[in-house]
Structure 1
Amino acid sequence: MRIPRLASVFLSVAGLLAYLMYVKQHYARPAAAQYRPPGYTLLRGPAGDPGPATDEPAKWHFRYGVMIDAGSTGTRIHVFKFLHRLNEVPKLAHETFKAIKPGLSAYADDPDQCTAGLLQLFEVAKASIPAAFWSRTPLVLKATAGLRLLPGEKATQLLNKVRAVFSESPFLSSSDAVSIMDGTDEGISAWITVNFLTGGLGAADSPTVGMLDLGGGSTQITFNPQDEKTIQTSPIDFISSIQMFNTSYTLYSHSYLGLGLLSARLAVLGGVEGQDAPAGSVELVSPCLAPEQSCPWQHGEVVYTVRGQKEGEPIYDACRTKVEKVLYRRVQPAPETRDLDFYAFSFYYDLAVDLQLIEAEKGGTVKVSDYSNAAKRVCERPSDQSPFLCLDLTYVSVLLQELGFPPDKELKLARTIGEVETSWPLGAVFHYMEANRR
């Protein structure tokens, strides 16, 4: 009877030792190898997408996002590839971009016609993203001023058609993936983009920069106030709070619909936004053109014939007076514009390039007074090659001053930062992902 008892003791001890060895090996595994954040993919992902070299590959994750910008003049797709690491600001590994024309709003009377263009853009996304990621890559379309200016029923029918096309795509498309972007959200998204690219996001004490955007149909101003008085005294709908990369930001942000450069040009010329196309052209007379000038201009579906006014006061003075009437009480002066650094985009940039104030590829810095000084020069010597340059420069110079920018204020102009476009889609992707993670 002694031998079986000894064998039993031996087996018990051996079993205990085996269990202890298993526990030791199990808990010795790296913590990162056991953690899988939802919706993320480990660096060692699908073949052909190995990611960057790192000493700790299990902590890096790839993610993709697709944003379609349905603007007033065209439809543009941005395919972003991000590199994430837990509790850190993500890195942008790559961006694919393609633009098509016309803008989505051109199909307001025949929504089915938008399908071909959207499918063309989907092919760009499919070629840029490994198939294994398609079903978990968010596909989002945000329409801006072009659709905001459409009659409600037309905009709804058009967006419903876009949603139907989205539902057939292989990408992740939630119920809120197709929408008309609120103007303030457009400004906030552009602010996120430029501050991500300049390194201002991710810590409460990191300095941020302000953002000015001048599109065709609307214009935005957004900045992070440094003075508590700004938050307390500004209109309540000018103040927004966002959470981005584990940091809270309070922003002064407002969008002025109808004060984008092309909509404002129409207003200064005396036209009416959104009117139905009449038979033949509509004639407009403007003090911002020389008396002998006459030219066609199409805005929306209407073709205008624009000609100069009869001789009178100097063109610049007459044009400035007209612009000031259009902007009267429509713009709120913003505080802190003298003290904060501001980046300016879109038509601010394009006009500076036309005037050779900055290089087209590199960008640069201009003063607010550069626009007004250029307006005076151009208005004195009108050009048939750029008949609206006098009007546009006068409008921009008055708009900036109405927003509170002094003449000697310097603005940084950049089309790209680190080879990435400075427009709102990158920030909108971040904003969308943050909102849908909570």
Structure 2
Amino acid sequence: MSAQREMKEKNPWHTPVTIIFTVIGVIAIVALVTVAVLQNRPLPQKYKYGIVLDAGSSHTALYIYEWPAEKDNNTGRVEQTHSCKVKGPGISSYASVPRKAGESLSECMQEARQRVPEKRHSETPLYLGATAGMRLLNLENSLASDKVFQAVEEALQKFPFSFQGARILSGQEEGAFGWVTVNYLDDRLKQSLETRGALDLGGASTQISFVSDDFDGSESPDNGVAFRLYGNDYNLYTHSFLCYGKDQALRMTLAKQTQSGPVSISDPCFNPGYIETKNYSIVYDSPCVSNMKPQGAPATFTHTGKGNFSQCQEVVKRNFNFKQCKYSQCSFNGVFQPRLQGPFGAFSAYYFVMNFLNLADTSIPLEAVTEKLSRYCATPWNQIKQQHPGVKLKYLAEYCFSGTYIITLLTEGYNFTSQNYPNIKFIKKIKGSDAGWTLGYMLNLTNMIPAEAPDSPPLPHAGYVSIVTVIAILLFVLFILSLRPLWPRCSKQPQII
């Protein structure tokens, strides 16, 4: 026993100091691993949501947007997560029964209730923006417009979101926010790339917006909009033409052909063989053409098609005034427009019409586009119906006019040529989000929505590095000290003289 006790006492690993070092080392290692795991664990992402209702002239659409609570350069990274097309016409169509304008939104709003997390409902902003359809109704009958908005607001306030109001967007806002959407989705704003112009075509209005080196706002200040996004400033040219959306442009074209009050017209903008009886009061039931209605006209007229692209283009051109211009350069109707610059994105009706006509690929030369349009317009109506059995006849009948109008608007109105026409890209969606003004609107509004403080790591980076460094040094010192029993005991060796 005494021999074993003597060996134990001589064993350096059984000394109290060594045991203490070992315990400290184990604790240090556990602490280092714990700190590293806690500091580098993935953090749950917090999201905010926003809902925008686009109340257009022909229909209403709901969009849900989502973005991280943290921000990039004070601009939230917004993405579309869901869209819902409201059944029925635009809210301006319910002027005589405003209650139904609000009721029509219910189904899509129920979808929004399910799509947005319940705990976020009360803080999710809800906006309704009305565009050219309501602009026209407000011009024609402001009292009816107010009643429609009242019905819409009452309907939206019943849902658990933070309703921020319903209002009419100005044409300038619609164009500018459409420009923001196109460039945001293309990552041109974040990467400070050359921006893309925006071409928007709706049912009642059309917008053009782009950045031009020739435009500083001095010649036509009303067409200028300044933005600051992702730390960069943008001076934008934008203009909206009310009554020049494709539906109202068609009314103007028909009005030009029926000003004498005929009982029938042969329309070059409709396919040969097309025939329909139309009511004068419906054609002229719009502020865009109401002052052109012929006196003493019959109740109806027979509308027949003859399908001639070049003649249709001549009729369409009569909607534009190219003679009046008090500026250095104009688009049409005396409106200033600087030199076109850079690529453009064309969306909404631009895309849907050109895609239907298989002309959305702008690698097709402009001359070939007009040739294909000419052949389409000349195709007999019966053949068109056979080729597209699933399309509503009302929309199908208008494609010859709509295609001709688009090409005329771009080339004669906005001054695109065969050289820069390929710079246009017809787009429906970019990275899963619909092209249009609503995303730009929501993106702009995130600057006014306070960002949540993000979940932060337990330690600041400098503190984390310091702790890891101290523990590492401690472990290294303990390791060196643990080797002490193995050090050569030079001082105890007998010296030979």
Confirm or deny a common fold (TM above 0.5): yes
Q: 2:375 aligns with which of 373, 377, 380?
A: 377
Q: Deviations over 1:361-410 (max 9, x none)?
A: xx775554454333322334453544433322221111101202112321
The match for 1:392 is 402
Q: Structure 1 length as normaliser, TM-score?
A: 0.74
Amino acid at match of 2:63: H
Aligned equivalents of 1:118, 1:350: Cα separation in 2: 24
CA contact (8 A) 1:78 1:96 kept: yes
Aligned equivalents of 2:112, 2:127: Cα separation in 1: 12
Aligned equivalents of 2:252, 2:236: Cα separation in 1: 30
The match for 2:68 is 83
Query: Can you give the 5+ residue segments of structure 1 that lack an aligned partner in the other structure?
Result: 1-32, 34-53, 273-281
- In structure 2, relative to structure 1, the CA distance for the partners of 1:224 and 1:293 (3 Å cut) is same
Aligned equivalents of 2:43, 2:275: Cα separation in 1: 65
TM alignment of 1:358-369, pairs within 5 A = 358=360, 367-369=365-367
The match for 1:96 is 82
Counting aligned pairs with the same residue, the percent is 26
The match for 1:106 is 93
Flag the structure with higher strand content: 1
How far is 1:290 from its partner? 6.1
Q: Does 1:255 align with 2:240?
A: yes
Amino acid at match of 2:447: E
The match for 1:30 is none
The match for 1:356 is 358
Q: Does 1:321 align with 2:321?
A: no
Q: Does 1:185 align with 2:195?
A: no
Amino acid at match of 1:335: P
Higher normalized contact order (CA 8 Å, seq sep 6+, divided by chain length): 2
Amino acid at match of 2:338: P
The match for 1:42 is none
Aligned equivalents of 1:290, 1:133: Cα separation in 2: 52
Q: Deviations over 1:312-354 (max 9, x none)?
A: xx933332221111112445473342x4101111222122222
CA contact (8 A) 1:371 1:396 kept: no
The match for 1:406 is 417
The match for 2:151 is 161
- In structure 2, relative to structure 1, the CA distance for the partners of 1:388 and 1:163 (3 Å cut) is closer
- In structure 2, relative to structure 1, the CA distance for the partners of 1:304 and 1:173 (3 Å cut) is farther
Aligned equivalents of 1:158, 1:167: Cα separation in 2: 14
The match for 1:307 is 303
CA contact (8 A) 1:374 1:393 kept: no
SS at match of 1:259: coil
Which of the pair has more CA radius of gyration?
A: 2
- In structure 2, relative to structure 1, the CA distance for the partners of 1:348 and 1:86 (3 Å cut) is closer
Amino acid at match of 1:173: F
Flag the structure with higher helix content: 2
TM alignment of 1:31-430, pairs within 5 A = 57=43, 61-88=46-73, 89-92=75-78, 95-100=81-86, 101-150=88-137, 151=140, 152-174=142-164, 177-202=165-190, 205-225=192-212, 227=213, 229-232=214-217, 234-270=219-255, 286-289=267-270, 293-295=274-276, 307-308=303-304, 315-329=308-322, 330-331=332-333, 332=335, 334-337=337-340, 339-358=341-360, 367-384=365-382, 385=384, 386-401=396-411, 402-408=413-419, 409-410=421-422, 411-430=424-443
How far is 1:433 from its partner? 3.1
How far is 1:287 from its partner? 3.9
- In structure 2, relative to structure 1, the CA distance for the partners of 1:389 and 1:169 (3 Å cut) is closer
Query: Can you give the 5+ residue segments of structure 2 that lack an aligned partner in the other structure?
Result: 1-38, 258-262, 286-298, 323-331, 385-395, 452-497
Q: Deviations over 1:90-109 (max 9, x none)?
A: 33455111112222112111
The match for 2:15 is none
- In structure 2, relative to structure 1, the CA distance for the partners of 1:340 and 1:366 (3 Å cut) is farther
Q: Deviations over 1:234-267 (max 9, x none)?
A: 5221111123344322111111110011110111
Of residues 349-358 and 154-163 in structure 1, the stretch that sits farther from structure 2 once superposed is: 349-358
CA contact (8 A) 1:212 1:220 kept: yes
The number of aligned residues is 364
RMSD (Å) for aligned C-alpha atoms: 3.2
CA contact (8 A) 1:345 1:413 kept: yes
- In structure 2, relative to structure 1, the CA distance for the partners of 1:296 and 1:71 (3 Å cut) is farther
SS at match of 1:85: coil
Q: Structure 2 length as normaliser, TM-score?
A: 0.66
Aligned equivalents of 2:362, 2:43: Cα separation in 1: 39
- In structure 2, relative to structure 1, the CA distance for the partners of 1:289 and 1:417 (3 Å cut) is closer
Q: Deviations over 1:214-248 (max 9, x none)?
A: 111111111122x1x32256522111112334432
How far is 1:83 from its partner? 1.8
